[in-house]
C-alpha cells in the first residue's frame, strides 16, 4: 500500500465552497466579501431567487448553503425543503433577521442544520458556518435552552397552539404585522402584491379565529412581545 504524500509547506488547503441565497444584493455582496476573506472558506455562487438558486446548487454541489428566510416569491423554508428533497446530505445554514424563537425550529424541521441571526457579530456567523460544515447543529444558546426545556413562553396556550398551524409564509406575515408593518411594507419586504398580503391576512384571521383586523393586530403584537421571554 502506498503512503499518502506529505503536504508541502506553503501548499494551499482546499477551501470549503459556500453558496448564498439572499435577495438583498448589498447584504449578499457584504456577506460574500466576509466569507471570501476567510482562509478556509469561499463563495462558489450566489442568487436571490429560489428557483434559480436550486438549479445552480444542484450543479455546483457546494459544501454549505446559506439561506435567508424571506425570499422573492417564496419562503426560504420552502427552498430548504426543496433542496433537502434533492440532496438529503446537503448542509444548510439559515442566516436571517427573523426571530430565532419563531423560525429556528421550523428551519431545523425543514432540513437546515443551523440558524443564526444577521445582527450577530461576524465571529458568531463564522462559528455557525464552520460548526455546520463540521456536521454539527448550530443554534444560539437561548434557543438551545428553549428547545431543551420545550417552553412556549408567556403567550396564551390557545394562541400558541394556533400559531403552530400557520404556514411558514403566514407566520412571516403575522410576525411583521406584530412588528407594526403596514400591508404595503409587508408586500415590499416579501415581494408580494398588496392583494396577496391581504389574502394572507384573511387566512390568519380565519386560522386564529379572529373577528377583525384590530384583533389580528392585537394578537400579532402580543405574540411578538411574548417570543422574547
User: What does the pLDDT look like over 50-87, one tens digit per residue?
Assistant: 889 999 999 999 999 999 988 876 788 889 999 999 99
Q: Are 107 and 143 members of one domain?
A: yes
Q: What is the CATH number for 201?
A: 1.10.10.10
Distance CA 129, CA 147 (A): 21
Distance CA 111, CA 18 (A): 17
Q: Are 116 and 198 members of one domain?
A: no
Please check whether residue 36 is in contact with residue 16, taking contact to mean a CB–CB distance below 8 angstroms: no
Q: Are 113 and 140 members of one domain?
A: yes
Q: Are 201 and 110 members of one domain?
A: no
Domain C-terminal end among 147, 178, 198:
147
Name the domain count of the chain: 2
pLDDT at 154 over 60: no
Q: What is the CATH number for 62?
A: 3.40.50.2300
* Start-end of H helices in the chain: 25-36, 50-60, 76-86, 100-110, 122-133, 141-149, 157-164, 168-178, 183-190, 194-207, 213-226
pTM of the model: 0.68
Please check whether residue 58 is in contact with residue 65, taking contact to mean a CB–CB distance below 8 angstroms: no
Query: What mean pLDDT value characterizes the chain?
Result: 83
Q: What is the pLDDT of residues 187-221, one digit of tens each?
A: 888 888 999 999 999 999 998 888 888 888 888 88
Amino acid at each position: 500500500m502506498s503512503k499518502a504524500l506529505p503536504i508541502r509547506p506553503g501548499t494551499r488547503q482546499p477551501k470549503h465552497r459556500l453558496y448564498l441565497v439572499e435577495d438583498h444584493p448589498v447584504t449578499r455582496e457584504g456577506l460574500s466579501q466576509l466569507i471570501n476573506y476567510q482562509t478556509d472558506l469561499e463563495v462558489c455562487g450566489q442568487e436571490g431567487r429560489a428557483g434559480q438558486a436550486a438549479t445552480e446548487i444542484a450543479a455546483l454541489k457546494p459544501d454549505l448553503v446559506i439561506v435567508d428566510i424571506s425570499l422573492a416569491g417564496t419562503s426560504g423554508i420552502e427552498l430548504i425543503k426543496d433542496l433537502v428533497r434533492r440532496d438529503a446530505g446537503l448542509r444548510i445554514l439559515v442566516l436571517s433577521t427573523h426571530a430565532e424563537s419563531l423560525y429556528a425550529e421550523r428551519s431545523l424541521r425543514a432540513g437546515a442544520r443551523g440558524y443564526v441571526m444577521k445582527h450577530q457579530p461576524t465571529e458568531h456567523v463564522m462559528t455557525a458556518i464552520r460548526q455546520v460544515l463540521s456536521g454539527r447543529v448550530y443554534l444560539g444558546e437561548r434557543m438551545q435552552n428553549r428547545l431543551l426545556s420545550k417552553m412556549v413562553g408567556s403567550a396564551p396556550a390557545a394562541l400558541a397552539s394556533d400559531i403552530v398551524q400557520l404556514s411558514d409564509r403566514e407566520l412571516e406575515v403575522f410576525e411583521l404585522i406584530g412588528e407594526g408593518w403596514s400591508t404595503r411594507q409587508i408586500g415590499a419586504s416579501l415581494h408580494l402584491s398588496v392583494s396577496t398580503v391581504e389574502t394572507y391576512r384573511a387566512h390568519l384571521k380565519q386560522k386564529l379565529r379572529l373577528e377583525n383586523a384590530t384583533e389580528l393586530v392585537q394578537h400579532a403584537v402580543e405574540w411578538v412581545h411574548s417570543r422574547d421571554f
